Structure 1
Amino acid sequence: MRVLGIDPGLRNMGWGVIAVDGSRLRHVANGVIQTDGGDLGTRLSRLYRGLCAVIAAHAPDAAAVEQTFVNKDAVGTLKLGQARGIALLAPAEAGLAIGEYAPNAVKKTVVGVGHAGKEQVQHMVKVQLPGVIFDSADAADALAIAICHARHLQTRTLRIARTA
């Protein structure tokens, strides 16, 4: 099974794909889709096309997206929400089931602590995906989101197996 993790952002949308085989995880690819300016519609279109290309190239079976946090800047939060809409739309259009996780849930799953720092998250992603080289910090976050989703899917599968 392949899982696509997406770290939504209007300027930099991180993505990461991992392969899941039982309890084993393997890095497949990671990157970032960048929009350096222009009007909002053009930027959102670039994000959508880029994410569709990632899905076509890596054929994930499931996707996971980080939930948006609300910050002090309402305009920035609204724009991030629109980028997050693209992060949900592209996998949905491809027929993928999508998991959504709060940033603290991702950190708790990957690191074991809900308020871990970025460096701790990146370190634990490297531990769980040996040999991985991040395209960017956003791509590292996307891989952490993919790992979080994979672990939740594994837990769900174990629960179903125990009740059967």
Structure 2
Amino acid sequence: MVVIGIDPGLALMGFGVIESDGYRFKVLDYGVIDTPAHTNDGDRLLQIWNELNAMFQKYKPDAVSIEELFFNKNVKTAISVAQARGVALLAVKAAGIPLYEYTPLQAKQAVVGYGRAEKMQIQLMVKTILNLKEIPKPDDAADALAIAITHVNNAGMIRANGR
């Protein structure tokens, strides 16, 4: 199964592409979609749309998992992240790829086994689970890989429950 994990953001949208049989993991790609700050929001969102669609064509994922938003005290940031997340959701649905959403708590539990894990604990486990030489950078890419791992770890339960 090929899974693309997405950590939504307007300036930096993290992505992680993994392949797994449910036991072993292989990293196919990870990084960020980096949209220039000096560009208007419409162009930034279009760049996200285009890069996600190119990624879907290249990797032909069986599923896309995306992090759900949690309340952010900075309203301007929350709105821009929500816009970018909306474009990502639309791109996934337009491509006809099954979409799964996970909270940060679910990702922490799936990757570390503890819902209050610190960011560094998550990053170290992502490195270990995926057998990487170093922690994926930037943080957005590591978070996206964690969301992809979360889906693989939950895929068995989803199949068992018929969802």
State the TM-score, normalized to the length of structure 1: 0.91
Residue in structure 2 matched with residue 121 of structure 1 by the alignment? 122
Residue in structure 1 matched with residue 153 of structure 2 by the alignment? 151
Deviation at 1:155, TM superposition (A): 2.4
C-alpha change, 1:157 and 1:132, in structure 2 (3 Å) is farther
C-alpha change, 1:30 and 1:132, in structure 2 (3 Å) is farther
Q: Quote the Cα distance in structure 2 between the aligned partners of 1:29 and 1:135.
A: 12
Deviation at 1:132, TM superposition (A): 5.6
Q: Quote the Cα distance in structure 2 between the aligned partners of 1:40 and 1:72.
A: 21
Q: Quote the Cα distance in structure 2 between the aligned partners of 1:144 and 1:51.
A: 18
Tell me the amino acid that sits aligned with residue 29 of structure 1: D
Q: Quote the Cα distance in structure 2 between the aligned partners of 1:94 and 1:156.
A: 21
Deviation at 1:75, TM superposition (A): 2.1
C-alpha change, 1:132 and 1:52, in structure 2 (3 Å) is farther
Residue in structure 1 matched with residue 76 of structure 2 by the alignment? 75
Residue in structure 1 matched with residue 53 of structure 2 by the alignment? 52
Residue in structure 2 matched with residue 34 of structure 1 by the alignment? 34
% same residue: 43
Deviation at 1:70, TM superposition (A): 1.2
Contact 2:22–2:152 (8 Å) recurs in 1: no
Contact 2:3–2:63 (8 Å) recurs in 1: yes
Residue in structure 1 matched with residue 15 of structure 2 by the alignment? 15
Determine helix, strand or coil for the equivalent of 2:114.
coil
Q: Quote the Cα distance in structure 2 between the aligned partners of 1:9 and 1:98.
A: 17
Q: Quote the Cα distance in structure 1 between the aligned partners of 2:22 and 2:46.
A: 36
Q: Which runs of 5+ in 1 are unaligned?
A: none
Q: Quote the Cα distance in structure 2 between the aligned partners of 1:51 and 1:135.
A: 19
Determine helix, strand or coil for the equivalent of 1:114.
coil
Residue in structure 2 matched with residue 140 of structure 1 by the alignment? 142
Aligned residue-pair number: 160
